[in-house]
Amino acid sequence: PRSPETLVFATLQPIMFVLLFRYVYDGTIEIPGFRYEQYLLPGIFAQTIVFGSAFTSVGLAEDLSKGFIDRLRSLPISQAAVLVGRTFSDLARNLVTFAVMLIVGFLVGFRFEGGVVNAVLATLLLLAFSYSFSWIQALIGLSVKSVEAANSAGFIWMFPMTFVSSAFVDPSTMPGWLQPIADHNPFTVVTNAVRALYNGMDPGSDLWLSIAWAAGITVVFAALSFRKFSSASR
């Protein structure tokens, strides 16, 4: 509530992606077995929530630089509460952004062809994946020396990860040397899983692999972030 412009701009970016890809590339990209909006929107959803995790790194870097973390350390609270609170706040922001983007998706023709239950499962999977990436961003925010560095470091690796995937095109159309990278990209796995659920298809092993990726990333990077936070705050 104190920073409404953050939420506004975080919401405008995915809306622009939806409209640009839907109306600029719709006539040039053909995906067998899919209407393009049914193929595109799950990829846009996944990209948006991953990009939304970057607020964690920027927020933590800013808190450290302004001495806010020092004030929190003087309070009788768990040190883990600082990082958990930050990651959950970004999860809440992602939920709001996703809700707005979903409305736009329906306006451009996207539908829950797999039913409401599968749609809810797909959405929960997306949010779990976004939460796991918030812990990667937390480690980045605690490791850099400035807010500007956190902003750059938080975004630069996400662009190749999201575009070298099945989010926007079929990986089989990519150069031969790039296809294995796209196929084994965890972002491809979760995108394929949520796309199958939204479209009423069998996600197969992608569903369980996505859950495993989300859980594994959360456990590993949360542990690393807690350790880094202890040293950074000292």
DSSP annotation string for 152-170: HHHHHTHHHHHHSSSSSS-
Q: Which pLDDT score is estimated for 26?
A: 67
Average pLDDT, the chain: 87
DSSP 8-state code for residue 114: T
- Copy the structure tokens of residue 50: 């991953």
**Position 4 pLDDT exceeds 60:** yes
The residues, ordered by sequence, that sit 6+ positions from 128 with a Cβ below 8 Å of its Cβ are 211, 214
**Position 233 pLDDT exceeds 60:** no
**Position 163 pLDDT exceeds 80:** yes
The residues, ordered by sequence, that sit 6+ positions from 164 with a Cβ below 8 Å of its Cβ are 174, 178, 181, 182, 185
Q: Which pLDDT score is estimated for 62?
A: 87
- Copy the structure tokens of residue 64: 């450290």
Q: Which pLDDT score is estimated for 34?
A: 78
